[in-house]
Amino acid sequence: MVMGWHVSVSRQTRRRHRPAANNDPKGVRLAVWQARVDGLDWLQDLVGSGDAVHLADNGGYPVRYTVRAGAAIPRILAGPPLARTTWVADPTDLIDPDRWHGATTIDRQAIEACQPDEWLQVEAFDES
């Protein structure tokens, strides 16, 4: 059962003006946060409007989307969707410090370099 999500949003390294493919390499990370169990609903809303594409589920390890910067960035800058104020971890969790920062991080300088019509990559890991 999903307890929450570890969500990261990155630029693409190439073909930024086309939707990413599932295995495209990720570029600069724009933001990372821990979200509640319903923390991917905003992405499903963007899929419905055509501003995102659900690329893969992978059983939650990870779930991948590609999303238009113009649709995602305002939501992230307003406070990442359904982000937990305080990150949580179980005492028995094995923490990968390269992926789990313990606090929401937004790289505003990297975000400012994005064009509204470019496509970003979103990776969400099931934290159950």
Residue whose structure tokens are 């990261």 = 8
3 within domain boundaries: yes
**Number of domains comprising the chain:** 1
Full domain range(s) for residue 69: 1-12+32-90+103-117
43-82 exposure pattern, b = at least 16 Cβ within 10 A, e = fewer:
beebeeeebbbbbeeeeeebbbbbbbbebbbebbeeebbb
17 within domain boundaries: no
* Residue 40 burial (CB count, 10 A): 22
74 within domain boundaries: yes
Using a 10 angstrom Cβ sphere, with 0-12 exposed, 13-18 middle and 19 or more buried, the burial of residue 27 is middle
> Over the stretch 23-45, which tens digit does the pLDDT of each residue have?
899 999 999 999 999 999 999 99
19 within domain boundaries: no
21 within domain boundaries: no
122 within domain boundaries: no
> Over the stretch 52-62, which tens digit does the pLDDT of each residue have?
999 998 776 89
Whole-angstrom distance, CA of residue 112 vs CA of residue 15: 18
> Over the stretch 69-95, which tens digit does the pLDDT of each residue have?
999 999 999 999 999 877 766 665 556
108 within domain boundaries: yes
Whole-angstrom distance, CA of residue 4 vs CA of residue 36: 4
25 within domain boundaries: no
